[in-house]
């Protein structure tokens, strides 16, 4: 057999093997994707802990936590937002460095254009919406880009949909911060346990929750430990009877949050990105 | 073979001492940063990656650019590149070493870096980046060293190294592709979210890598007896010229898509980089990268024009100048604009500008000096061996 013929046969053989193998491999990869997106419109697809990206997508069973924020009620009740933020930040030992560069925040307020960029209409500016401030926090996405990006599984998704942080595993690469489209994540640029001019960055340390060390990322945890004990997240609790925030199981059709979502028109932040946020807004 | 690096003239030792001095400054700056935290840099909640990650991105390109020197020789038996192949491999070693140092400098918890290995996460692009970068370092150390050592001993290199050489060629493409995937797979970062990011990275890499090599080769031509030869030089001009043109073609494609579609998210960062971007609410215009980015375009085109003229005039001085122009142009484009621009505006439509601190610049300079130190030592060995074996032949 001359060499060019042998070469040809070799290449033909290899391509045949690749041709047979590739579609089935592709199919295997695609199957999970299709299943994950066809079931329950995303909310309900349950994934295993430590972020298996829809690999174990199943029927909407189990808990799937979410939240509805009524921006109108916040607008009409001055001081309510500050109360929520204080409840969260004081419990979780979120430091205040007094400058924007080092800023750490788990929940905060911003105007419509910042909270919903690209959604504002250019000509018709309804004044009330534009005067409103919106409570922003981690969206605990169904399809979290931060979990996908993290190289150490330091950020991962619980079975109940809560996106968690392991402060002890985080290497501080900040890939998750680049990946998050919502600016929900903060980095400890310096030691949060320190102080400046005698004023500590954490006003009063709450011994119930650990302070962080410098060089790790942190964010809202939907108060996972309270939720596990059957309590409401601290921010929700702080809104009291106003019902400005409603938290609960999105998979349970009878839960208060599901009822509100059924009855009211709500919007999500950047839904076009396919992250499927778990936080909804009434505007 | 290492002993070759210990014999040099006064100029050689002065250069080595100079580099060691800068490395020392870098080490001191790193101690400051390590003790204070990354707050010692100019990075912020909105601009979470700064000059470290942008240098890393650029240098992955320089490492991948070595491919353009290796491929013609080993794959096309282009004999005139025989003298520079080893230089390409050794440049890649230095560049990858710098990449790794820049990643380490950027970590908030560097002591935990090995968590990437202990908790391997195949859905993270950083995981693959670790694999391809360390693999590329290994391949270049093996191929470069074995081939050169064989020449040192006056024999042909052993055939077992051949597969490694062939693997290193697609591997070079992979390192820059995966590095582009770090950026272009992130939803909500419009500037990075483009399918031609990897091709654009490769085009600029295939120009910037050979440019650096050419400048070093021209310096060596004057200071040592080592000359890569007119033919190789002219061929490199072709490679650099076309790769640089491709890079600008890709940039043009980006600009067309953004400004013809007029989708705000696609235009914002380009506005910020080349014209300045005004804040929604305050109207304040932010533009601290504009002079750099415009200079990058001018220097790039000037460099492309001049490099072909230099070949026509057979002028080494002009060739060196045009290579420096192209290298600096692409360094600005990728080593500044690409990474920093991606964070403006932020996911919350806010504009925060980034300015590196002295500590940050000190560390950056220290790492670059480390890279040049590695290049100096390796090139010293390489050209000593080459000159000796040629004398013997």
Among A117, A193, A275, A277, pick the best mutation site for testing chain B contact (most B Cβ within 10 A): A117
pLDDT at A2 > cutoff 50 = yes
Å between B111 CA and nearest CA of chain A: 8
Residues of B in contact with A145 (CB under 8 A): 186-188
* Cβ(B233)–Cβ(B312) below 8 Å: no
Residue A244 banded pLDDT, cuts 50, 70, 90: very high
CB contact under 8 A, B37 and A189: yes
Q: Has residue A27 got a pLDDT over 80?
A: no
pLDDT at res. A111: 92
Q: Residue written as tokens 């693997």? A: B167
Nearest chain A residue to B37 by CA: give it.
Answer: A190
User: pLDDT at position B141, please?
Assistant: 93
From residue A153, alpha-carbon distances to A158, A174, A183, B238 in Å are 12, 13, 19, 45
Instruction: Give A18's pLDDT tier (boundaries 50, 70, 90).
Output: low
Residue A235 burial (10 A CB sphere; 0-12, 13-18, 19+): buried
Contact between A148 and B124 using a beta-carbon 8 Å cutoff: yes
Low-confidence ranges of chain B (pLDDT < 50): none
Average pLDDT of chain A to the nearest whole number: 83
- Tokens 């840099």 belong to which residue? B41
Q: Nearest CA of chain B to the CA of A54: how many Å? A: 12
Q: What does the pLDDT read at residue A4?
A: 60
Question: Does residue B8 fall inside a structural domain?
Answer: no
What does the pLDDT look like over A75-133, one tens digit per residue? 999 999 999 999 999 999 999 999 999 999 999 999 998 999 877 766 666 788 888 99
CA nearest neighbour of B318 among B339, B334, B302: B302
Question: Whats the size of chain B, residue-wise?
Answer: 393
CA torsion angle A178 A184 A185 A189 (round to 10):
100
Cβ pair A188:B119 closer than 8 A: no
In a domain, B1, yes or no: no
Domain range annotation of chain A: 39-282
Q: Is the CB of residue B264 less than 8 Å away from at least one CB of chain A?
A: yes
Handedness of CA A112, A118, A119, A124 (dihedral sign): positive
Residues of A in contact with B342 (CB under 8 A): 178
Contact (CB, 8 A) for B211 and B240: yes
Domain with B173 in it: 19-392
Sign of the alpha-carbon torsion through B180, B183, B189, B193:
positive
A177 to chain B, any CB pair closer than 8 A? The answer is: yes
pLDDT digits (tens, 9 = 90+) for B233-257: 999 999 999 999 999 999 999 999 9
* Domain over A39-282 is classified CATH 3.40.190.10: no
For the stretch B172-205, pLDDT in tens is 999 999 999 999 999 989 999 999 999 999 999 9
Averaged pLDDT for residues A41-62: 45
pLDDT reading at A261 higher than 80: yes
Is residue B2 in a domain?
no
Give the integer Cα–Cα distance in Å for B190 and B257: 12
Question: Residue A116 half-sphere exposure, CB side, CA atoms within 13 Å?
Answer: 22
Separation in Å, CA of A146 to nearest CA in chain B: 9
| Counted domains in chain B | 1
| pLDDT reported for residue B75 | 86
* pLDDT value of residue A31: 46
In the structure, what pLDDT confidence band is assigned to residue A45 with cuts at 50, 70 and 90? Answer: very low
Provide the CATH number for the domain around residue B190.
1.20.1630.10
| Lowest mean pLDDT across A31-35, A269-273, B133-137 | A31-35
Farthest-apart Cα atoms in chain A, separation:
88
Comparing A159 with A16, which gets the higher pLDDT?
A159
pTM: 0.89
CB atoms within 10 A of CB A123: 4
Dihedral (CA of B75, B76, B77, B82) sign: negative
Q: Is residue B99 part of a domain?
A: yes
Report the pLDDT value the prediction gives residue B3, as an integer from 0 to 100. 81
- Do A186 and B352 count as a contact with CB atoms less than 8 A apart? no
The answer to whether A87 and A71 are in contact (CB under 8 A) is no
| pLDDT digit string, tens, across residues A141-154 | 999 999 999 999 99
Question: Of B121, B135, B117, which is closest to residue B174 (Cα–Cα)?
Answer: B135
* B9 close to B389: Cβ distance less than 8 angstroms: no
Section A205-221 average pLDDT: 95
The answer to the question of residue B361 being in a domain is yes
Instruction: Please give the distance of CA B255 from its chain centroid, rounded to a whole number.
Output: 24
Q: Is residue B94 a contact partner of residue B23, using CB atoms and an 8 Å limit?
A: no
Predicted confidence band of residue A19 (pLDDT cuts 50, 70, 90): low
Residue A35 has pLDDT above 80, yes or no: no
Tens of pLDDT, residue by residue over A195-208, are 988 899 999 999 99
CA distance A184 to chain B (A): 9
Task: Place A6 in a pLDDT band, splitting at 50, 70 and 90.
Answer: low
In this complex, the residue of B109, B188, B189 whose CB is nearest that of residue A215 is: B109
Q: Which of B89, B61, B93, B56 is nearest to B73 (CA)?
A: B89
Q: What angle do CA B299, B300, B305 make, to 5 degrees?
A: 95
By C-alpha distance, the chain A residue nearest B102 is A173
B86 lies in a domain? Answer: yes
DSSP B129-163: HHHHHHHHHHHHHHHHHHHHHHHHHTSPPPTTHHH
Query: A147, A171, A196: which to substitute to probe chain B, counting the most B Cβ within 10 Å?
Result: A171
**Both tokens of residue B347?**
């996911």
Interface of A with B in 116-135 (CB under 8 A): 117-118
């Amino acid at each position: 057999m001359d060499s060019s013929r042998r070469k040809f046969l070799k290449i033909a053989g290899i391509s045949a093997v690749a041709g047979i193998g590739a579609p089935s491999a592709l199919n295997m990869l695609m199957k999970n994707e299709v299943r994950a997106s066809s079931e329950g419109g995303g909310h309900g697809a349950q994934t295993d802990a430590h972020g298996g990206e829809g690999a174990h997508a199943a029927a909407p069973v189990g808990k799937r936590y979410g939240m509805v924020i009524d921006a109108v009620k916040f607008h009409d009740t001055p001081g309510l937002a500050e109360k929520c933020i204080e409840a969260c930040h004081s419990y979780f030992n979120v430091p205040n460095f007094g400058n924007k560069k080092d800023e750490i925040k788990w929940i905060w307020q911003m105007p419509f254009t910042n909270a919903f960029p690209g959604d504002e209409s250019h000509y018709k500016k309804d004044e009330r919406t534009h005067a409103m401030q919106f409570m922003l926090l981690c969206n605990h996405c169904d399809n979290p880009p931060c979990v996908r990006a993290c190289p150490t599984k330091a950020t991962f998704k619980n079975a109940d949909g809560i996106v968690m942080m392991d402060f002890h595993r985080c290497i501080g690469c900040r890939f998750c911060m680049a990946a998050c489209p919502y600016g929900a994540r903060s980095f400890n640029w310096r030691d949060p346990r320190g102080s400046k001019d005698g004023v500590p960055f954490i006003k009063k340390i709450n011994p119930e929750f650990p302070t962080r060390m410098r060089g790790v990322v942190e964010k809202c945890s939907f108060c996972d430990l309270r939720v596990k004990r059957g309590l409401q997240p601290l921010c929700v609790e702080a809104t009291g009877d106003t019902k400005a925030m409603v938290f609960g199981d999105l998979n349970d059709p009878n839960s208060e949050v599901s009822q509100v979502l059924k009855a009211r028109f709500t919007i999500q932040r950047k839904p076009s990105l396919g992250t499927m946020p778990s936080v909804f807004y009434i505007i | 073979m290492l002993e070759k690096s210990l014999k040099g003239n006064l100029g050689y030792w002065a250069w080595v001492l100079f580099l060691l001095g800068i490395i020392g400054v870098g080490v001191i700056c790193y101690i400051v940063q390590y003790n204070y935290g990354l707050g010692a840099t100019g990075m912020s909640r909105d601009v979470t990656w700064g000059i470290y990650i942008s240098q890393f991105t650029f240098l992955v390109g320089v490492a991948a650019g070595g491919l353009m020197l290796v491929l013609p020789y080993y794959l096309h038996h282009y004999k005139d590149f025989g003298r520079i192949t080893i230089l390409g491999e050794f440049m890649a070693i230095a560049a990858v070493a710098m990449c790794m140092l820049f990643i380490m400098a950027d970590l908030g918890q560097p002591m935990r870096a090995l968590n990437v290995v202990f908790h391997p996460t195949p859905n993270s692009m950083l995981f693959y980046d670790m694999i391809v970068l360390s693999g590329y370092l290994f391949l270049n150390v093996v191929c470069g060293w074995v081939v050169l050592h064989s020449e040192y001993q006056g024999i042909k290199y052993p055939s077992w190294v051949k597969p490694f050489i062939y693997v290193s060629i697609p591997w070079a493409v992979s390192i820059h592709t995966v590095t582009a995937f770090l950026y272009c797979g992130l939803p909500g970062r419009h500037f990075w979210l483009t399918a031609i990011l990897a091709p654009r990275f490769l085009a600029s890499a295939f120009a910037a890598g050979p440019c650096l090599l050419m400048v070093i080769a021209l310096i060596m031509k004057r200071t040592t007896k080592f000359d890569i030869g007119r033919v190789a030089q002219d061929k490199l001009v072709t490679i650099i010229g076309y790769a640089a043109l491709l890079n600008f073609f890709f940039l043009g494609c980006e600009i067309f898509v953004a400004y013809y579609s007029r989708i705000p998210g696609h235009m914002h960062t380009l506005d910020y980089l080349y014209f300045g971007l005004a804040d929604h609410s305050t109207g304040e215009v932010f533009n601290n990268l504009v002079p750099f980015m415009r200079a990058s375009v001018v220097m790039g085109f000037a460099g492309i024009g001049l490099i072909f003229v230099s070949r026509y005039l057979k002028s080494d001085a002009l060739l060196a100048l045009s290579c420096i122009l192209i290298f600096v142009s692409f360094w600005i484009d990728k080593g500044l604009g690409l990474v920093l621009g991606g964070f403006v505006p932020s996911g919350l439509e806010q504009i925060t500008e980034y300015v590196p601190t002295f500590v940050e610049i000190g560390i950056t300079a220290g790492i670059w000096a480390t890279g040049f130190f590695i290049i100096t030592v390796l090139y010293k060995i390489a050209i000593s061996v080459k000159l000796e074996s040629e004398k013997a032949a």
